[in-house]
Structure 1
Amino acid sequence: VAGELQPSGRLKADSLPGGDVATTTHTGAYEGLPGAFHAVTEWIRANSREIAGDPWESYLDGPEAAEPRTKVCFPLVAR
């Protein structure tokens, strides 16, 4: 984003950490997100990686989409 983002309503400016991230994109109802979180944490464990902080979600579509996409991201400790 170029320039400063002004908060408005539910929109707020924030920054994300740099570095390695384990991620997946969930397609479908938001109620299915726990499965996406579980899948990423299982991948992290299976690949001997370590979570470096709190995960975050990026909503790629609005809730009105028939199959909304949500990116689930976990920051990882650097190797």
Structure 2
Amino acid sequence: MEEEVTNPPGSTSEQLPDGILALLGPRTYLSTACETALLLTKAIARNPDRDDLPGVRDRMHARCRLNHKFTGALCSCPCHPQAD
């Protein structure tokens, strides 16, 4: 069964106003999903016998919300194509 997403990846519905964002300063954002996927990549190297880990890692990357829920900063994970 497909799970319902109330705030889909890329959604800007909960971002803070620009005036407040300006006070926060620039930050690099790595989503929790992509951070976990990068940790799973290390676990794959340490556990080559675990055939299930690559699939879990790929699902985590796919779950990335792409931008920070409140600031709108784009996820800096190398799995995402970088816009030029």
Confirm or deny a common fold (TM above 0.5): no
TM-score, normalised via structure 1 length? 0.29
Higher strand share: 1
Greater relative CO, 1 or 2 (CA 8 Å, sep 6+) = 2
Which structure's CA Rg is the greater one?
Answer: 2
**TM-score, with normalisation over the residues of structure 2?**
0.28
Structure 1 or 2: larger helix share?
Answer: 2
